[in-house]
Amino acid sequence: MTLAIDVRDLVKRYGTRTVVDKFSLALERGRICGFLGPNGSGKTTTLRMICGLLTPDGGGGTCLGYDLVRDREEIKRQTGYMTQRFGLYEDLTIRENLEFVARVYGLDRLKERIDRSLERLALTTRQSQLAGSLSGGWKQRLALAACLLHEPKLLLLDEPTAGVDPKARRDFWDEIRRLSAKGVTVLVSTHYMDEAVQCDFITYIAYGKKLIDGPSAKIPELVGLETWRVDGPELPALEARLKTEPGVEQVARFGTVLHVSGTDKEALRTTVKRLEAAGTQRWSLQVAGLEEAFIFLMAGARDNFSAQPKAA
C-alpha cells in the first residue's frame, strides 16, 4: 500500500482555541476521501495543513512522500487546491485566467496545457467569456481547470459544489472519478450525502476532532446503527413519542417517512414490534446510510467554541 497522505495527531490553535485537535489520516494514492462535518469543524484548516499552506502546531507526517513541515514548498507544487469561494479574476476571460495561473506556476508549454485543460472541462467554446459572467457551475469548472494546469498528484476540494445545480454537480464528480482513475488522490469536503457515497473513504470531523473514518460503505456498520423505516398516518405524533422509547437514539424525518435508529438493536427491535402491533404505520428494517450516521455522530459532538475560556 502506497500512502499519499500519512498524518498523525495534527493540531492547530488560534489563541486559546484549538480548531484541529490531534487529527490523523492515512490515505492510499488514487483514492477519493470525503471530509464530512458541520461548518466550523476544522475541515478547511486541516486541508490547508495537509497541503502546506498552514504549519501545524503539533503532530506531523507526510504528504506525497514529503515531510509536512520541512517540505511544504514541494507539497504545494504537487497539489491543486480549490477553495470554497471562487478565487479567480472576474474581469478576465476564462483563457486569460488560466494563462495567469500558468505563469504564476512558471509552467512550460502554456498553450498546450491551457488547451488541454479547456477541453477536459468543456470550456473551449466559452474561453473568451468573462469569468464574472459565468454561472456557479461554470465558475466551478474554471476553478477546477486552473487547479489541474500543473498536473497535481493531490487535489484538495473545499466544498466545491456548494450552490451549483444538480447537473453541474454530477458533471463535476464524473471528472473527479476520471482523475482518481488516473492516480490522482482527492480530498473533498462536502455536506451532500449523495456526494459522500461516491467517495472511497470517509472522515467525519466535528469541532476539531475526528469522530470516525473508514470505507464509505462501512461507516454505518462502524457506528453500529440499526435503522427502521416507518411510514403511514399520524407520523408527527409517532415522532414525538419515539423520542422517549427504549432503544431509540435518533428519529430523523426523510420526506414522508421516519428513519428510527439506535445502537442497542435488541431494545430497538422490542420497541418496534410493540409499536407495530399497536399502530397503523408500516415498519421495515433497512440498511443504515451515511446520513443517519452523520446525524447520529453530530448529535454527540461538543462545540469546541463554546468550551473555550472567556476573555478577561
Looking at residue 227, its pLDDT comes to 94
As a whole number of angstroms, the distance between CA 27 and CA 190 comes to 18
Tell me which long-range contacts 132-135 makes (C-beta under 8 A, separation of at least 24): 132/90, 132/91, 134/94, 135/164
- The architecture (CATH level 2) of 3-220 comes to 3-Layer(aba) Sandwich (3.40)
Looking at residue 78, its pLDDT comes to 93
Looking at residue 90, its pLDDT comes to 93
Q: Which of 222, 229, 235, 209 is nearest to 290 (CA)?
A: 222
Q: What is the DSSP string of the chain?
A: --EEEEEEEEEEEETTEEEEEEEEEEEETT-EEEEE--TTSSHHHHHHHHTTSS--SEEEEEETTEETTTTHHHHHHTEEEE-SS--S-TTSBHHHHHHHHHHHTT-SSHHHHHHHHHHHTT-GGGTTSBGGGS-HHHHHHHHHHHHHTT--SEEEEESTTTT--HHHHHHHHHHHHHHHHTT-EEEEE-S-HHHHTTSSEEEEEETTEEEEEEEGGGHHHHHT-EEEEEESS-HHHHHHHHTTSTT--EEEEETTEEEEEES-HHHHHHHHHHHHHHSS-EEEEE---HHHHHHHHHHT---TTTTSPPP-
Looking at residue 303, its pLDDT comes to 59
Looking at residue 97, its pLDDT comes to 94
In the chain, which segments carry CATH 3.30.70?
226-287
Q: Which residue is listed with cell 515531510?
A: 67
Phi-psi region at 261: left, alpha or beta (left = phi > 0; alpha = psi -120 to 50): beta
Which fold, 226-287? Alpha-Beta Plaits (3.30.70)
Could you tell me the three cell numbers for 50? 495537509
Contact 208, 46 (CB under 8 A): no
Looking at residue 124, its pLDDT comes to 94
Could you tell me the three cell numbers for 65? 512522500
Looking at residue 309, its pLDDT comes to 44
Half-sphere CA count of 79, side-chain side, radius 13 A: 27
pTM of structure? 0.82
As a whole number of angstroms, the distance between CA 283 and CA 212 comes to 29
Strand order in the sheet with 201-206: 79-82, 154-158, 185-189, 32-36, 201-206, 209-215
Q: Which residue is listed with cell 502546531?
A: 57
In the chain, which segments carry CATH 3.40.50.300?
3-220
Looking at residue 296, its pLDDT comes to 85
Looking at residue 310, its pLDDT comes to 43
What residue ranges of the chain have pLDDT lower than 70?
1, 300-312
Looking at residue 158, its pLDDT comes to 87
pLDDT digits (tens, 9 = 90+) for 243-288: 899 999 999 998 899 999 999 999 999 999 999 998 789 999 998 8
Contact 238, 258 (CB under 8 A): yes
Contact 17, 308 (CB under 8 A): yes
